[in-house]
A and B are shown apart, each in its own frame.
Chain A
């Protein structure tokens, strides 16, 4: 009898991957060796065990979370403006896709905006951008003259129906250098993908801080650096401004992430406080005004990295 082929050779034999010579050798060996024949059967058994491993159905909350993330991505894309709308897929795709569209949408493919987005764009674009610009302007005012001047100019402004516009300017800039003040109101936004939990908030927040552009160079190899996202989620600016005013904090970093067992979307806000950072987990509805403090889901203090 020839010597036993190793298990891998038998597995290759089963997949008909062996060279003809070797295959003949193994085949004739198996004919006379009950042990290797049994091993061959057991290899099939491996596949059976794997196939039988139970896997949970997709939980409802995962489906919901996915819906929310996609809806949010759509809103962000619209907030970016129509710049990309005309972006053509490569020729082959356009050729394959557009004719099908003809029957359903009258061939108006290039507009793409078959459903709602125009009105939304109109609303979001102007609603969003001027506010950002006002915040920038405010920083300049503070830098040049101080909070009092600023309040005098903006607070009574009845022209804006956005009640919170003046909010970011409330902090008394007494001991603060102007550049810091300006930066306070434009937090960097990252997406760490973290699902924060109450129990691990401290460690998770510290890691996010460490990986973020705010935290400087990561302190360990495990901390993979994160770049800020180009487009902040709609509402982050308002939220950090409102909450910053209410709490007397200036947020420098926001992690667009999830929180809790259900993995609900949440923003994790970081405000420097000496050698530490205060961390607030907030519901994204925070930006909708009213009682912003109620949107705070959790609060923690972590050491600056």
Chain B
């Protein structure tokens, strides 16, 4: 058993494809925390993240013999999880992107104030999380996924590009478009240490 635990990813996947009963479970334990983080941020909801993660691991289980050695196993698993999330997000009903915006922004800015030691906000952590995700819901899926990987999860652009199977430049431009779209939602975002910015900054967010 100990030997199995220490095998490299690729060897585990090969053994699994050849019929080994234990190899895939070892692979799952090795990667599940990281992939959970991806799924829960993509989905914004633990229950849906759990479903997506199960879907993904079961597809990986069945598709192991189609793994091509060109990428890391970790990247391959990420891609499967991201695709599972993408499918679920696409199926989700598109929310109207209008009246919720203002409240979303307030909560997001409050969250930031709290984080920076400013006035405590009235929103719970849960509400804050849900509202960041509500803002993300406003974005096209490709922008949202790029931002989730790069800005929320801290993946390097080239890593995100491999996971999403697009060019690095594409990841950058999706992130840039996504941030630009989210910015109006953050119009009330203020750094409490520079209260003087309040008026001029607001003008900057929406130059007319």
Contacts and interface: CB of A to CB of B under 8 A. Distances in A.
A42 B183 contact: yes
Contacts of B183: 7, 11, 39, 42-43, 46
Interface in A44-61: 45-59
A15 B169 CA distance: 9
Interface residues of A, number: 77
B40 A10 contact: no
A35 B57 contact: no
Interface in B107-166: 108, 111-112, 115, 125, 128-129, 132-133, 147-148, 150-152, 154
A48 to B, nearest CB: 8
A113 B19 CA distance: 6
A41 to B, nearest CB: 8
A135 B129 CA distance: 53
Judged by DSSP, the binding face of A is: helix
Contacts of B197: 38
A49 B111 contact: yes
A8 interface: yes
A12 B65 contact: no
Given A49-B111, A87-B65, A70 B24 contact: yes
A177 interface: no
Contacts of A39: 183, 204-205, 207
A112 B108 CA distance: 52
A17 B168 CA distance: 11
A56 B46 CA distance: 8
Interface in A61-95: 62-63, 65-67, 69-71, 73-74, 77-78, 82, 84-90, 92-94
A297 interface: no
B204 A35 contact: yes
A174 interface: no
A85 B186 contact: no
Q: Is the interface of B mostly helix, strand, loop or mixed?
A: helix
Nearest to A16: B172
B22 interface: yes
A193 interface: yes
A104 B176 CA distance: 47
B22 to A, nearest CB: 5
Contacts of A82: 19
A65 B46 CA distance: 13
B100 interface: no
Given A42-B204, A90-B68, A115-B22, A15 B172 contact: yes
B97 interface: no
Q: Which interface class (under 10, 10 to 19, 20 to 34, 35 or more) fits B?
A: 35 or more
Contact of A115 (B21, B41, B46): B21
A110 interface: yes
Nearest to A14: B176
Interface string B168-201: 0100110111011011101001000000010011
B162 to A, nearest CB: 17
Contact of A193 (B28, B32, B55, B111): B55
Given A38-B201, A55-B40, A74-B24, 9 more contacts: A7-B180, A10-B180, A38-B197, A43-B179, A55-B37, A55-B152, A66-B54, A94-B14, A109-B14
Interface of B: 3-4, 7-8, 10-11, 13-15, 17-22, 24-25, 28, 32-33, 36-37, 40-41, 46-47, 49-51, 53-55, 57-58, 61-62, 64-70, 91, 108, 111-112, 115, 125, 128-129, 132-133, 147-148, 150-152, 154, 169, 172-173, 175-177, 179-180, 182-184, 186, 189, 197, 200-201, 203-205, 207
